[in-house]
Amino acid sequence: MSTELLIDSAQNGSRIALLQDKSLVELHSEGMDNQFKVGDIYLGTVRKIVNGLNAAFIDVGYEKDAFLHYQDLGPNFNSLTKFTKMVRNNNFANYNLKGFSNEPEIDKIGKISNILSKNQQILVQVVKEPISTKGPRLSCELSLPGRYLVLVPFSDSVNVSKKIRSSDERKRLLRLINSIKPANFGVIIRTVAEGQSVSDLDKDLRNLLTNWEEGMAKLLKAKSRDKVIGEMSMASSLVRDLLNESFDAITVEEESTYDQIKSYIRTIAPEKEKIVKLYNGKAKLFESFGIEKQIKSLFGQTVSLPQGGYVIIEHTEALHVIDVNSGNKSNQESDQESTALKTNLVAAKEIARQLRLRDMGGIIVVDFIDMKRAENKKVIYEAMKDELKQDRSKHTVLPLSKFGLMQITRQRVRPEVNIVTKETCPACNGTGKIQASILIADKLEKDLDHMATIQNVDKIQIGLHPYLHAYFTTGVISRRVKWFFKYYKWIKLIKDSSLPVTEYRFLDESGEEIELKVKSETE
């Protein structure tokens, strides 16, 4: 299976698409002001303690206070608090915890009012981003993820991923890490560490220690709400977590992001540096790779299945409901049971993809087409578990009930990706009546004339729907060629299927939108 990563840059952030065999499986967006990412460590202040919830609300700079439950304090909370005070008072300069003595662990079933006090400053880590009306979810059990290892301060345990099955390999990794890890740091060995050399593991560990020490140096002068250690960009974290032999291309549109990704890969996997490419095509990156079209077809309420049939996806506040239908094309099998089994198998694959793509979390109920045979129900259950093995979010799948319903729970740490695929017509504002579509070409040419002659813009690009693009470029002496003889400027036209057919945008040579400055009649 080939894996590609596409990073499309825009004025207000970037979009990241993960493709497997050219098919879109994950879509992430990262705004320029995207704060409170999972993994960020802040210096927070306790604002309120709620004994009834056994939790506290912490001010980390978000508009709503973040939530910290007693169970998320972690067993070594007293050690973290002691170390934080010592660093803040400049009484302890060994940020690598050398010579630091841990405090006794806190009770597993204690009360938060006995541990925290109002206005107390504590180090907290974001474990769930702000979703809907809720602020971030926090933990005081800090961890720093790397390529092969996860560093856990104030702990001494070494744990190996359960997905590493080989007993000999588990023993090798445990022996290795125990020999190189510093005191007062625990380590979780990730699945990708299997078969890696001592030097690679040691390098990853040193990088994580450096990251921790740099963050603690910031803590000395940090103010409340300051970010002490920031998680890397979404693109870099995806590369860190997913980079393997099947990763064969990372295509980036913006040069600064390209340099950042290339530098990071040079650090963690120099042999893979050549797969990073800077895109310099004429069309937009997502447009060129057909991602815009996939987004429009995959994020609707109804999603078609390859061999006929379709699934309907509904979202509520409490759960997500998915209904599988055979449609009128899935009648090639000899009997109803075979048709249901075949359609359900195809649907299981698409549903697993949709969970990752939309980042759906919480409770998901799937209503498969009814099947009578118990062995067929088991086949669907095993197929769904197998398809979800590639999902990095924690999840649980239950067998089909006697009503043909499957229940899935999936960890939610970020807001669900929700893209509206049905648009209100910009020309009619939903009334159903628009100006004659042929007039849009005349309006574009009128605005272009103003842009080229009145505003005297030198290099003009126009982003427009493919239908309009074809209209202006068809023929030997196309309308665009006529523009050249009229304005002595070559107007670059860029296909953008994300735009409605009645919209277009004037852009400068760097891709920034140019405002049309038309004087009002009263001036």
Same domain, 350 and 325: yes
Whether residue 360 is contained in a domain is answered as yes
Judged on CB neighbours under 10 Å (0-12, 13-18, 19+), 38 is middle
How many Cβ atoms are within 10 Å of 263's Cβ, its own excluded? 12
What is the Cα Rg of the chain in Å? 28
Whether residue 296 is contained in a domain is answered as no
Residues in the chain: 523
Same domain, 200 and 225: yes
CATH number at residue 109: 2.40.50.140
What is the pTM assigned to this prediction? 0.70
Q: At what angle do helices 439-449 and 466-473 cross, to 10 degrees?
A: 70
Of 198, 213, 229, the last residue of a domain is 229
DSSP-assigned beta bridge partners for residue 367? 323, 405
CATH number at residue 9: 3.30.420
Of 212, 229, 246, the last residue of a domain is 229
Amino acid in position 498: S
Q: Which domain holds residue 64?
A: 44-229
Cα(404)–Cα(391) distance, integer angstroms: 24
Same domain, 208 and 283: no
Same domain, 93 and 221: yes
Same domain, 212 and 355: no
Q: How confident is the model at residue 173 (pLDDT cuts 50, 70, 90)?
A: very high
- Quote the percentage of the chain above a pLDDT of 90: 35
Average pLDDT, the chain: 85
Q: For 34-78, how does the pLDDT look when each residue is reduced to its tens digit (9 = 90+)?
A: 678 888 999 999 999 999 999 999 999 888 999 999 999 999 999
Whether residue 424 is contained in a domain is answered as no
Cα(286)–Cα(15) distance, integer angstroms: 9
Whether residue 268 is contained in a domain is answered as yes
Whether residue 60 is contained in a domain is answered as yes
Cα(465)–Cα(481) distance, integer angstroms: 19
Token pair recorded at residue 477: 């002496």
Number of domains in the chain: 4
Cα(464)–Cα(49) distance, integer angstroms: 54
Same domain, 132 and 190: yes
Whether residue 369 is contained in a domain is answered as yes
Same domain, 112 and 154: yes
Whether residue 513 is contained in a domain is answered as no
Same domain, 199 and 343: no
Q: For 476-505, how does the pLDDT look when each residue is reduced to its tens digit (9 = 90+)?
A: 899 999 999 999 989 999 988 888 888 889
Same domain, 406 and 478: no
Judged on CB neighbours under 10 Å (0-12, 13-18, 19+), 168 is exposed
**pLDDT for residue 31 is more than 90:** no
Same domain, 237 and 219: no
Same domain, 124 and 211: yes
Whether residue 432 is contained in a domain is answered as no
Residue 239 · residue 252 · CB < 8 Å: no
DSSP codes, 244-309? STTEEEEEESSHHHHHHHHHHHHHH-GGGGGGEEE---SS-HHHHTTHHHHHHHHSSSEEE-TTS-
Same domain, 224 and 123: yes
Amino acid in position 183: A
The pairing of beta strand 185-189 with beta strand 227-229? unpaired
Cα(452)–Cα(460) distance, integer angstroms: 8
**pLDDT for residue 422 is more than 60:** no
| Residue 521 pLDDT | 37
Nearest to 348 by CA among 328, 375, 324: 324
